[in-house]
Amino acid sequence: MHDIPSIKNYDIILASQSPRRQHLLKELGIDFTVRIKEVPELYPDHLKEEAIPVYLAKLKAEAFLDELSEKELLITADTIVWVNEQVLGKPIDYSDAFRMLRILSGTMHTVYTGVCLITKQKEKTFWASTQVYFRPLGDNEIEYYLNHHQPYDKAGAYGIQEWIGYVGVERINGSYFNVMGLPIQKLYDELKKF
């Protein structure tokens, strides 16, 4: 395990079934176990932008609080796409994914990820944002992507590390890994401070 003094006395738990989040945390050199719990991703209507994923990351973390031992540190995260004053979460089906990618085509949107670190004694939430610029996408390109990939577990119906990211994303402003679902550099800094 990479030596981060502030967390070496903790057993790290990642509460996410996202293979991308698991991969990113592993690449950080941190030993962790995965623990999953279904938590409805519901939030108050008045929340906007980063407040939504921060609220949801905290909600997910608090669902585990009674089960945590004294030496466990839990990491939860939630990612949304924010465009034209609306949130795009995970698509429910093909037509919903198609609709979302049509909205993102030719525009800039912001990806927000909220993260919660929690132990029996302490809680810390933070967030990161990345602006993503898509070139205009043809319907045939959206169809190709949806027919060859399964973006139904991804906010905004796309993975930047997949085909659509290669051909559609013109540029980003902010963390690439945040768009994948975990602002890993910010997480590293927060773990060092924890």
Write the pLDDT tens digit of every residue in 160-172: 999 999 999 999 9
Q: Which domain holds residue 15?
A: 5-193
Q: Considering only CA atoms, which of 11, 27, 12 is closest in space to residue 185?
A: 27
78 is catalytic: yes
Strand-pair partners of 116 = 76, 125
Sort 136 into a burial class: Cβ within 10 Å, 0-12 / 13-18 / 19+.
exposed
- List 3, 78, 139, 153, catalytic entry: 78
List the alpha helices (DSSP H) in the chain: 19-27, 51-62, 94-104, 139-148, 163-168, 176-180, 184-193
Cα dist from 109 to 105, 168, 188, whole Å: 10, 13, 25
In the chain, the number of structural domains is 1
Task: Take residue 27 and report the two structure tokens written for it.
Answer: 């690449």
Write the pLDDT tens digit of every residue in 13-66: 999 999 999 999 999 888 999 999 999 989 999 999 999 999 999 999 999 999
- CATH number, domain containing residue 72: 3.90.950.10
pTM for the model: 0.94
